[in-house]
């Protein structure tokens, strides 16, 4: 059980935006300066990890959530809305610098996936944010492979294996029903593909 808890902690949903950004800067053809890459990474890490953690602490102080695991749908609503707004803002910011448009649209994909996650709350479905995150990264790496005509098959295969391990961990910890695991994964992949179509337009 400790192994599954470790997996859930190491691959926490808050880290997936940073991981996706790192993979984009590492895998895509070099078209920006190293200094710009570091600045983007720092901004994304602060915006998508440090800032949300501080807000979770605030939500806990205000008794909007009982703990940091966000076990119930009600506890997830405020953080999800916050992260939707944050993802849109980051996407717009990245678009403004006009050198990482593909990455910018990936954040619009994140905002869309979280919006659909919020929509599913109406049906009492607590979508897995862990599998949503890893699904989003898989979708984004597939997009990069297509956009830059590069072979990322090994990386994609490794990510699929990782997705399986993460999904198993969430099931073993009784954090989600199987359908919530599947919905999270497919939402993550599909919303990235949708955002890519918008990027092409």
Q: What is the mean pLDDT of the chain?
A: 92
pTM of the model: 0.92
Q: 102 is written with which tokens?
A: 């593909």
* Domain ranges, ordered by start, for the chain: 2-200
Taking only the tens place, the pLDDT of each residue in 77-91 is 888 999 999 999 999
In this prediction, residue 85 carries a pLDDT of 95
> Alpha helices of the chain — where are they, by DSSP H?
2-10, 16-27, 34-45, 51-61, 73-97, 101-121, 129-148, 153-172, 178-200
């Amino acid at each position: 059980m400790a192994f599954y808890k470790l997996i859930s902690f190491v691959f926490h949903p808050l880290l997936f935006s940073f991981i996706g950004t790192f993979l984009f800067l590492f895998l895509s053809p070099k078209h920006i300066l190293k200094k710009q890459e570091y600045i983007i990474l720092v901004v994304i890490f602060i915006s998508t990890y440090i800032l949300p953690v501080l807000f979770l602490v605030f939500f806990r102080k205000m008794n909007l959530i009982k703990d940091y695991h966000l076990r119930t749908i009600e506890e997830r609503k405020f953080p999800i809305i916050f992260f939707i707004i944050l993802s849109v803002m980051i996407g717009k910011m990245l678009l403004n610098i006009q050198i990482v448009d593909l990455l910018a649209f990936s954040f619009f994909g994140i905002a869309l996936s979280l919006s659909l996650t919020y929509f599913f709350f109406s049906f009492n479905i607590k979508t897995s944010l862990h599998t949503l995150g890893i699904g989003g990264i898989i979708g984004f790496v597939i997009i990069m492979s297509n956009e830059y005509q590069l072979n990322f098959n090994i990386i994609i295969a490794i990510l699929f294996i990782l997705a399986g391990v993460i999904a198993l961990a969430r099931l073993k910890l009784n954090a989600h029903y199987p359908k919530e695991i599947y919905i999270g994964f497919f939402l993550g992949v599909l919303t990235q593909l949708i955002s890519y179509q918008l990027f092409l337009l």
